[in-house]
Amino acid sequence: MKTTERLDKILAHAGFGSRREIKELVKKGLVLVNGKPAKDSGQQVDPGSDTIEADGQRVDYREFVYLMLHKPPGYVSATEDNRDRTVLELIGEEYAHYELFPVGRLDKDTEGLLLLTNDGKLAHRLLSPKKHVPKTYYAEVLGLVTEADREAFRRGVELDDGYLTLPAELTIEEAAEPESGHLSRIRLTIHEGKFHQVKRMFQSVGKQVMYLKRLSMGPLVLDEGLGLGEYRELTAEETEGLRTP
């Protein structure tokens, strides 16, 4: 595996400007490699073992970043949008240069686990229809969710466009009662990610999802310590878990 990288690439990644601007910093002697001024912005350095400082700051080089966001309602899962606020607007400036994007989509009104990364390969793998990565949701559903629904979801239901869903696991945590506002509380694990899938699955059995929250995606579980709109980097273990097929 390649361990060295061009100095200007590392600094550009770390947010020190364009290659030209970095060249200027190097010229001014403001970039130090192992304590000595760098001679050439194109020189090879090993970010794993060389210490790099630029403009008086220690450079922490990472190619990929992985953030777990507790998505609040009211934000769209996109990097840009003309009308709505995007989940990227919740992320601090210090991550701006990593060009993060959401891995898959949660509806604007859905809450819960959303992974943001700039690792295209990993995102592609997690979203691949062939991988059937399980996603578990908590939902509050208007009406009485029954054993018959559980069985229907286990066998697969036909959505409004004629698509037959893959087997999904439904757990009824609390069946609707008049006292609970006729809401049933459930968990549902699906192994695919069609547009509005959970809402449309309930629609197919004549019920309406009133509240939806994603709890997990593959081995990644929402950290309940994160409030709505809060995020944190994944631990090394969590990232490794996602990489393992």
Binding interface with ligand URA (CB under 6 A): 106-107, 110, 196-199, 212
User: Which entry of 107, 119, 149, 161 is annotated as an active-site residue?
Assistant: 107
Nearest-approach distance from CB 46 to ligand URA, in angstroms: 42
Closest distance of CB 217 from ligand URA, Å: 11
User: H or E element: which one contains 149?
Assistant: helix 147-155
Nearest residue (CB) to ligand URA, 22 versus 88: 88
Cite the beta strand spans of 46-167 per DSSP E: 52-54, 57-58, 66-71, 75-76, 85-86, 101-102, 111-117, 135-142
Q: In angstroms, what is the minimal distance from the CB of 32 to ligand URA? A: 47
Q: Which of 114, 109, 64 is nearest to 88 (CA)?
A: 114
18 versus 208: smaller Cβ distance to ligand URA: 208
Q: Which amino acid, residue 12?
A: A
Nearer to ligand URA, 32 or 198 (CB): 198
Whole-angstrom Cα distance, residue 241 to residue 52? 30
Establish whether 81 is a catalytic residue.
no
Determine phi and psi for 10, rounding to 5 degrees: -60, -45
The helix/strand/coil state of 198 is helix
* Shortest separation between residue 104's beta carbon and ligand URA, angstroms: 8
Give the residue ranges of DSSP H helices in 156-245: 197-204, 236-243
92 or 162: CB nearest ligand URA: 162
Residues with active-site annotation = 107
